[in-house]
Amino acid sequence: MKGVLFPSRFAFAVTLALAAATAHGQAAGKAEGGYPSRPVRIVVPYTPGTSADALARLLSDKLAARLGQSVVVENRPGAAAAIGTAYVAKAPPDGYTLMMSLNTHVITPASRKTPYDPVKDFAPIGQIASGQMLVLTHPSTPARTFPEFVAYLKKMGDDASYSSPGPGSTTHLYSLVLQDMLGTRMRHIPANGMGVAAMDVMQNSSTMLISTVEASRANVASGKLKPMAQTGRLRSQLVPDLPTVAESGYPDYDLSIWVGMYAPAGTPKAIVQRLHDEVGAIMGTPQMRKDLLEKGYDVVLTSPEAFAELNRKEFARWKDVVARHGLQGE
């Protein structure tokens, strides 16, 4: 798809977020000693009930107990997570405004103009989790394995299609990478949200959808969607019998959802390390691992430095994918 443009209201919405963050920063002033000496906020740039929101709320009470201060989760959704992200980017770098985000943190700025740089404007605290995605199709598709599904797609030719929640979304870009690797040229059918995209496949008006284990679990269990493969290198414990794309003949395909925590750039390293150590201690407990697995995620703990490198590499990767496919953002 060439020359896909994104709506100008995106820029307007993000501008409002920046104004709010600037006002908050001017009122807050510099961080006081003895961190933390007041409540800490975890901004989630997604709506309540989403995976990042659920993980932030699982973490907040336990983190509050370890820090000795309240930890409040605040949702600031909109503009493919750019509104909340822009707000955090401009917040005071004092450790009192944090962010829990998915890898849309680097995907959105790769496909649209944003008033922040996902690498330069943030101090990564660490990755905390990773979740698998599934390649899904309609139950009537005459394929039992992923190689059979690829053969089916190639036989369909230009009639094959894939759905996504919209241009530049994670599902859209993951699908582009997959079809490049498979050598197919499926039509993109953008929908107004993941629920509509899933409905397109369940109604057999679209051939394929890539969605998280969490979001698709109920429709798979009820037989409304048929999973063909997992997208990451390692199988999810929730679907241990379903092979990955990599295991099915495409070893270079390794795309999953990762979740991590950030602070604004310039946050003192001692605060970043303190937060990393406290979060790591919480996430490493058997109960948290169990709680995350129930939501379709595995605990993955990395250092601030390793998470910063992941962000750099992934941002460069998705900018390249966007450029090669002629996607353009405002």
pLDDT of residue 184: 93
Sheet holding 40-44, edge to edge: 71-75, 40-44, 97-102, 257-264, 122-131, 297-299
pLDDT of residue 157: 94
pLDDT of residue 147: 98
Question: 230 is written with which tokens?
Answer: 């997992």
Asked whether 68 and 36 are in contact (CB, 8 A), the reply is yes
Domain boundaries, the chain: 9-131+257-324, 133-248
Q: Specify the pairing of strand 161-164 against strand 208-212.
A: parallel
pLDDT of residue 329: 58
**In a 3-state reduction of DSSP, which class is residue 316?**
helix
Comparing C-alpha atoms, which of 242, 166, 230, 235 is closest to residue 6?
166
Angstrom distance (rounded) from CA 320 to CA 312: 13
Q: What is the 8-class DSSP label of residue 186?
A: P
pLDDT of residue 328: 66
**Residue 262: partners with Cβ closer than 8 Å, 6 or more residues away:** 88, 98, 99, 101, 105, 122, 123, 124, 125
CA 78 to chain CA mean position, Å = 14
What DSSP string describes 21-54?
Answer: HHHHHHHH-SPPSSS-SS-EEEEESS-TTSHHHH
pLDDT of residue 119: 98
pLDDT of residue 173: 96
Angstrom distance (rounded) from CA 311 to CA 85: 14
Enumerate the β-bridge partners of residue 133. Answer: 212
Sheet holding 161-164, edge to edge: 187-190, 161-164, 208-212, 133-137, 226-230
Domains 9-131+257-324 and 133-248 fall in the same CATH topology = yes
For the domain made up of 9-131+257-324, the CATH class stated in words is alpha beta
79: phi > 0 → left, psi -120 to 50 → alpha, else beta; which? Answer: left
pLDDT of residue 62: 97
State the DSSP H helix or E strand holding residue 200, giving kind and residue range, or none if neither. helix 194-202
300: phi > 0 → left, psi -120 to 50 → alpha, else beta; which? Answer: beta
Q: Kindly give the confidence (pLDDT) of every residue in the chain, 330 residues in length, as a single tens digit, with 9 standing for 90 and above.
A: 444 444 444 454 555 545 444 444 443 334 445 899 999 999 999 999 888 999 999 999 999 999 999 999 999 999 889 999 999 999 999 999 999 999 999 999 998 899 999 999 999 999 999 999 999 999 999 999 999 999 999 999 999 999 999 998 999 999 999 999 999 989 999 999 899 999 999 999 999 999 999 899 999 999 999 999 999 999 998 999 999 999 999 999 999 999 999 999 999 999 999 999 999 999 999 999 999 998 889 999 999 999 999 999 999 999 999 999 998 654
Choosing among 1.10.357.10, 3.10.180.10, 3.40.190.10, 3.80.30.20, the CATH entry for 133-248 is: 3.40.190.10
pLDDT of residue 185: 86
Enumerate the β-bridge partners of residue 124. Answer: 262
Q: 47: how many CB neighbours lie within 10 A of its CB?
A: 12
